[in-house]
């Protein structure tokens, strides 16, 4: 029966080409605009680490002096090297990681490639299980190797294949800034978006190729990259020094449950009080502990104009649906005579209603094809923009399916009123006229 209704719909389209084209175009424009903005919004607002985002917390302390102090203001976004090392040593969370980004020259004795620059991450051993970094070969280093400033590294699969021609280079040596490091693990592709773990360096993109102990990076004085803020009344000669009054280390903890956050926040307040008593901190305890999604929201990862564009796009889709309702209503009522004859020959109101809905759904299917083309064109235009998230705006299989479901669902919704009006046409009046 559905195939019969579909053939009737195609025959009806052939008799009203212009009206059908207008409906398809209206649905297509609305779907194209909605899916383009929804895809961009999904890239910006997605959960970068589902299942753990409510248990991973970003730590902030307030080590600055009393100059320009405002009670309750936002503290420093990062920690000093001293505070990060102290919190790591106290180990009050099940897992914790201190880290910062870097960049330096890498090479390998076994490779014919000339030395080249690459991105690095200096961190501690818990980084890998905390952030679910998948390992193809080998393993991450241990906390003991952190303490011992071991000359070890985990490298990306891309770098392993580039230097050694294989994804399993465990046991081989690479050279970073002239220093030899032994490869203990090879990481599979890992690029959570947004880059929540170091959002101050870059919000999107910027995959890193080498991870090594942060203590080793300190000892070797490897190149650092990222933001730094120094405070105090005296000039700082070595901002990366252990006791320098400069914040530049990101610090994250993983708790067993979100319910453990208040207790850990109290620990941070107590730590701040102890440092104030020791003369290091001048300000009263002013700490922050935000989970992943709260951290992203605080840093306005999803700009307000993107949210506005999303609302406007779906508002435009609604306008297109209202217009489609009017066009479908005009189309069905112009066929009152045909519908009256069918009713007189025994067709029930339910059959008329079903046929009209199938026509509306067929319009939606065609509109979905047009909308998909417009969405792809819109996303191509987005990828030409000089923004760090532009290259990530792509329609995946789920969004592709959603495009057609939204198009068909919207057209069926738009067809309910016209179909209801059509099935209520009185056969006798139409036959008499």
Residue 225 phi, psi dihedral angles, 5° rounding: -140, 145
pLDDT class of 154 with cuts at 50, 70, 90: very high
Give the residue with greater pLDDT, 343 vs 413.
413
Q: What's the rounded mean pLDDT across residues 35-60?
A: 85
Mean pLDDT of 333-362: 69
**How buried is residue 134: exposed, middle or buried, by Cβ count under 10 Å (0-12/13-18/19+)?**
exposed
- Statement: residue 235 has pLDDT above 90: no
Q: What mean pLDDT is reported for the chain?
A: 83
Above 80 in pLDDT, residue 56? yes
Residue 317 has pLDDT above 90, yes or no: no
According to the model, what pLDDT value does residue 412 have?
A: 74
Question: CA 76 to CA 404: how far, in whole Å?
Answer: 47
Structure tokens at 51: 């299942």
The confidence band for 36, taking pLDDT boundaries of 50, 70 and 90, is confident
Domain boundaries, the chain: 1-47+303-423, 56-290
Q: Given the structure tokens 């009713």, which residue do they identify?
A: 343
Give the model's confidence band at 396: pLDDT under 50 very low, under 70 low, under 90 confident, else very high.
low
pLDDT at residue 12 in the model: 62
Average pLDDT over residues 397-408: 70
Q: 40 or 133: whose pLDDT is higher?
A: 133
The percent of residues above 90 in pLDDT, for the chain, comes to: 42
As a whole number of angstroms, the distance between CA 208 and CA 225 comes to 12
Q: How far apart are CA 29 and CA 16, in angstroms?
A: 20
Q: Which two tokens stand for residue 236?
A: 């700082």
Dihedral angle of Cα 253, 259, 262, 267, to the nearest 10 degrees: -50
Nearest CA-CA partner of 122 in 60, 46, 39, 213 = 213
pLDDT at 223: 87
Q: Is the N-terminal amide bond of 94 cis, ω within 30° of 0?
A: no
Q: What is the pLDDT of residues 176-213, one digit of tens each?
A: 999 999 999 999 988 887 888 998 877 776 789 999 99
**Mean pLDDT of the 250-269 span:** 97
In the numeric block, the tokens 């700009």 are attached to 303
Interhelix angle 17-45/2-15, rounded to 10 degrees, is 110
Residue 333 has pLDDT above 70, yes or no: no
In this prediction, residue 149 carries a pLDDT of 95
Between 277 and 327, where is the model more confident? Answer: 277
- 71 by Cβ neighbours in 10 Å (0-12 / 13-18 / 19+) ranks as exposed
Higher pLDDT residue, 12 or 286? Answer: 286
């Amino acid at each position: 029966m559905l195939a019969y209704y579909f053939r009737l719909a195609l025959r009806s389209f052939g008799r009203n080409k212009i009206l059908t084209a207008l409906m398809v175009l209206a649905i297509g424009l609305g779907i194209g605009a909605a899916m383009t903005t929804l895809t961009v919004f999904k890239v910006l607002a997605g959960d970068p680490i589902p299942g753990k985002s409510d248990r991973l917390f970003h730590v902030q302390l307030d080590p600055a002096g009393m100059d320009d102090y405002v009670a309750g203001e936002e503290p420093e976004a990062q920690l000093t090297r001293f505070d990060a090392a102290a919190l790591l040593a106290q180990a009050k969370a099940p897992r914790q990681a201190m880290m910062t980004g870097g960049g330096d020259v890498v090479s390998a004795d076994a490779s014919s490639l000339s030395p080249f620059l690459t991105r690095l991450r200096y961190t501690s051993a818990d980084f890998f299980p905390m952030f679910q970094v998948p390992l193809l070969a080998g393993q991450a280093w241990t906390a003991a190797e952190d303490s011992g400033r071991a000359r070890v590294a985990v490298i990306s699969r891309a770098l392993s294949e580039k230097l050694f021609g294989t994804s399993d280079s465990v046991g081989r040596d690479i050279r970073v800034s002239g220093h030899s490091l032994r490869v203990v693990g090879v990481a599979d592709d890992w690029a959570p978006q947004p880059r929540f773990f170091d959002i101050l360096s870059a919000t999107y993109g910027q995959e890193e190729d080498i991870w090594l102990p942060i203590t080793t990076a300190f000892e070797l004085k490897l190149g650092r990259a990222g933001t730094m803020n120094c405070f105090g009344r005296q000039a700082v000669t070595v901002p990366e020094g252990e006791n320098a009054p400069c914040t530049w280390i990101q610090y994250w903890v993983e708790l067993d449950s979100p319910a453990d956050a208040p207790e850990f926040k109290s620990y941070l307040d107590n730590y701040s009080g102890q440092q104030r008593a020791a003369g290091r901190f001048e300000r009263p305890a002013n700490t922050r502990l935000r989970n992943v999604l709260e951290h992203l929201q605080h840093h306005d990862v999803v700009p307000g104009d993107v949210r506005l564009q999303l609302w406007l796009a779906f508002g435009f889709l609604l306008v297109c649906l209202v217009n489609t309702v009017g066009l479908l209503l005009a189309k069905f009522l112009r066929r009152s005579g045909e519908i009256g004859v069918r009713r007189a020959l025994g067709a029930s109101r339910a059959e008329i209603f079903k046929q009209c809905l199938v026509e509306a759904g067929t319009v939606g299917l065609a509109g979905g094809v047009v909308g998909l083309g417009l969405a792809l064109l819109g996303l191509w235009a987005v990828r030409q923009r000089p923004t760090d998230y532009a290259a990530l705006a792509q329609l995946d299989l789920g969004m592709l399916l959603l495009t057609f479901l939204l198009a068909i669902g919207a057209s069926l919704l738009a067809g309910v009123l016209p179909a209801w009006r059509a099935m209520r046409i009185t056969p006798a009046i139409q036959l008499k006229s």
